[in-house]
Amino acid sequence: MIRPERLTASFNGNFVVFLIGMRINQPLKIHKWLPVVTAMPRMIKELYQQPTLGFLHAETWFGRTTIMVQYWRSMEQLLAYAKIREAEHLPAWQAFNKAIGTNGSVGIWHETYAISAGQYENVYVNMPPFGLGRAGTLQAATGRRQSAADRLRGDANQESDNAT
Protein backbone atom coordinates (compact mmCIF):
# COMPACT_ATOMS: atom_id res chain seq x y z
CA MET A 1 0.00 0.00 0.00
CA ILE A 2 1.51 3.28 -1.13
CA ARG A 3 1.45 5.95 1.55
CA PRO A 4 1.29 9.38 -0.11
CA GLU A 5 2.20 11.37 3.00
CA ARG A 6 5.75 12.39 3.93
CA LEU A 7 7.02 9.93 6.54
CA THR A 8 10.13 9.17 8.53
CA ALA A 9 11.09 6.01 10.36
CA SER A 10 12.47 5.71 13.86
CA PHE A 11 13.83 2.79 15.79
CA ASN A 12 14.04 2.32 19.53
CA GLY A 13 17.75 2.07 20.38
CA ASN A 14 20.68 0.91 18.29
CA PHE A 15 20.43 -1.38 15.27
CA VAL A 16 22.57 -2.85 12.51
CA VAL A 17 22.38 -2.33 8.76
CA PHE A 18 23.90 -5.25 6.88
CA LEU A 19 24.44 -4.92 3.12
CA ILE A 20 25.12 -8.19 1.35
CA GLY A 21 25.24 -9.16 -2.27
CA MET A 22 26.73 -11.13 -5.09
CA ARG A 23 28.00 -10.47 -8.59
CA ILE A 24 27.77 -12.95 -11.43
CA ASN A 25 31.16 -12.64 -13.10
CA GLN A 26 30.80 -15.58 -15.49
CA PRO A 27 27.12 -15.73 -16.54
CA LEU A 28 27.47 -18.96 -18.50
CA LYS A 29 28.61 -20.87 -15.41
CA ILE A 30 25.09 -21.32 -14.10
CA HIS A 31 26.20 -24.31 -12.02
CA LYS A 32 28.45 -21.93 -10.05
CA TRP A 33 26.14 -19.00 -9.41
CA LEU A 34 22.74 -20.71 -9.13
CA PRO A 35 23.51 -22.31 -5.73
CA VAL A 36 24.61 -18.89 -4.44
CA VAL A 37 21.40 -17.27 -5.73
CA THR A 38 19.18 -19.90 -4.11
CA ALA A 39 20.93 -19.90 -0.71
CA MET A 40 19.79 -16.45 0.43
CA PRO A 41 16.02 -17.00 0.17
CA ARG A 42 16.35 -20.02 2.47
CA MET A 43 18.24 -17.91 5.01
CA ILE A 44 15.72 -15.08 4.88
CA LYS A 45 12.79 -17.49 5.29
CA GLU A 46 14.53 -19.02 8.31
CA LEU A 47 15.23 -15.58 9.80
CA TYR A 48 11.65 -14.36 9.43
CA GLN A 49 10.43 -17.58 11.08
CA GLN A 50 12.75 -17.12 14.08
CA PRO A 51 12.51 -13.48 15.26
CA THR A 52 14.55 -14.27 18.38
CA LEU A 53 17.64 -14.44 16.13
CA GLY A 54 17.48 -10.63 15.84
CA PHE A 55 16.72 -10.23 12.15
CA LEU A 56 14.16 -7.47 11.48
CA HIS A 57 13.67 -6.99 7.73
CA ALA A 58 15.32 -7.14 4.30
CA GLU A 59 14.94 -5.47 0.90
CA THR A 60 16.55 -6.86 -2.30
CA TRP A 61 17.50 -5.50 -5.72
CA PHE A 62 18.42 -7.86 -8.56
CA GLY A 63 20.82 -7.51 -11.46
CA ARG A 64 24.27 -8.72 -12.42
CA THR A 65 25.28 -7.35 -9.03
CA THR A 66 22.59 -8.10 -6.48
CA ILE A 67 22.20 -6.23 -3.21
CA MET A 68 20.19 -6.99 -0.12
CA VAL A 69 19.82 -4.54 2.74
CA GLN A 70 19.10 -6.22 6.06
CA TYR A 71 18.17 -4.70 9.42
CA TRP A 72 19.19 -6.44 12.65
CA ARG A 73 18.58 -5.66 16.33
CA SER A 74 22.26 -6.01 17.23
CA MET A 75 25.72 -6.81 15.94
CA GLU A 76 25.95 -9.68 18.41
CA GLN A 77 22.85 -11.33 16.97
CA LEU A 78 24.04 -10.92 13.38
CA LEU A 79 27.45 -12.42 14.17
CA ALA A 80 25.90 -15.23 16.22
CA TYR A 81 23.59 -16.21 13.36
CA ALA A 82 26.55 -16.55 11.01
CA LYS A 83 28.03 -19.26 13.26
CA ILE A 84 24.97 -21.41 14.04
CA ARG A 85 25.82 -24.85 12.67
CA GLU A 86 22.17 -25.91 12.29
CA ALA A 87 21.12 -22.71 10.50
CA GLU A 88 21.12 -22.07 6.75
CA HIS A 89 24.05 -19.62 6.61
CA LEU A 90 27.07 -21.65 7.73
CA PRO A 91 26.51 -24.62 5.38
CA ALA A 92 25.89 -22.21 2.47
CA TRP A 93 29.09 -20.30 3.25
CA GLN A 94 31.07 -23.55 3.48
CA ALA A 95 29.59 -24.75 0.16
CA PHE A 96 30.52 -21.44 -1.49
CA ASN A 97 34.11 -21.73 -0.29
CA LYS A 98 34.35 -25.33 -1.49
CA ALA A 99 32.69 -24.88 -4.90
CA ILE A 100 33.86 -21.37 -5.77
CA GLY A 101 36.41 -20.03 -3.31
CA THR A 102 38.51 -17.51 -5.24
CA ASN A 103 38.00 -18.90 -8.77
CA GLY A 104 36.38 -15.64 -9.94
CA SER A 105 33.07 -17.04 -11.23
CA VAL A 106 30.88 -15.46 -8.55
CA GLY A 107 31.71 -12.51 -6.32
CA ILE A 108 30.17 -12.02 -2.92
CA TRP A 109 30.45 -9.06 -0.61
CA HIS A 110 29.01 -7.54 2.51
CA GLU A 111 29.28 -4.37 4.57
CA THR A 112 28.08 -4.03 8.16
CA TYR A 113 27.14 -0.79 9.92
CA ALA A 114 26.35 -0.41 13.63
CA ILE A 115 23.87 2.44 13.91
CA SER A 116 23.52 4.32 17.17
CA ALA A 117 20.22 5.84 18.22
CA GLY A 118 19.88 9.34 16.76
CA GLN A 119 22.68 8.82 14.22
CA TYR A 120 20.52 8.22 11.17
CA GLU A 121 17.75 9.90 9.25
CA ASN A 122 15.39 8.98 6.44
CA VAL A 123 12.33 10.14 4.58
CA TYR A 124 9.71 8.34 2.48
CA VAL A 125 7.15 9.98 0.19
CA ASN A 126 4.69 8.11 -2.02
CA MET A 127 6.17 4.81 -0.85
CA PRO A 128 4.86 1.66 0.74
CA PRO A 129 6.53 0.85 4.06
CA PHE A 130 10.12 0.22 3.02
CA GLY A 131 13.58 -0.32 4.51
CA LEU A 132 13.87 1.07 8.01
CA GLY A 133 10.23 2.06 7.61
CA ARG A 134 9.39 -1.66 7.72
CA ALA A 135 11.89 -2.54 10.46
CA GLY A 136 11.07 0.43 12.70
CA THR A 137 8.12 2.76 13.17
CA LEU A 138 6.80 5.18 10.54
CA GLN A 139 5.70 8.65 11.65
CA ALA A 140 4.75 11.87 9.93
CA ALA A 141 7.80 13.86 8.83
CA THR A 142 6.46 17.12 10.22
CA GLY A 143 7.38 19.50 13.02
CA ARG A 144 10.62 18.33 14.63
CA ARG A 145 10.85 15.63 11.97
CA GLN A 146 10.47 18.02 9.00
CA SER A 147 14.07 18.26 7.74
CA ALA A 148 17.05 15.91 7.61
CA ALA A 149 18.94 18.27 9.94
CA ASP A 150 16.08 18.16 12.47
CA ARG A 151 15.90 14.37 12.32
CA LEU A 152 19.66 14.09 12.82
CA ARG A 153 19.55 16.40 15.84
CA GLY A 154 17.61 13.69 17.57
CA ASP A 155 14.58 15.79 18.45
CA ALA A 156 12.35 13.43 16.51
CA ASN A 157 13.66 10.38 18.36
CA GLN A 158 13.03 11.93 21.77
CA GLU A 159 9.39 12.75 21.12
CA SER A 160 8.31 9.58 19.34
CA ASP A 161 6.66 6.45 20.61
CA ASN A 162 9.08 3.92 19.12
CA ALA A 163 8.50 0.24 18.70
CA THR A 164 11.08 -2.29 17.69
Full strand arrangement of the beta sheet holding 3-10: 124-127, 3-10, 137-140
The confidence band for 118, taking pLDDT boundaries of 50, 70 and 90, is confident
Q: Is the pLDDT of residue 134 over 50?
A: yes
Pick the CATH number of 15-115 from 3.40.50.1980, 2.60.200.20, 3.40.50.280, 3.30.70.100: 3.30.70.100
Nearest to 15 by CA among 52, 55, 49, 44: 55
Q: Is the pLDDT of residue 158 over 70?
A: no
pLDDT for 164 equals 37
pTM equals 0.89
Domain residue spans of the chain: 3-11+123-159, 15-115
Strand ranges (E), the chain: 3-10, 15-24, 55-61, 65-72, 106-115, 124-127, 137-140
- If you average pLDDT over residues 13-20, what whole number do you get? 97
Residue 116: CA atoms inside 13 Å, Cβ hemisphere, count? 4
- If you average pLDDT over residues 129-140, what whole number do you get? 96
- If you average pLDDT over residues 15-39, what whole number do you get? 97
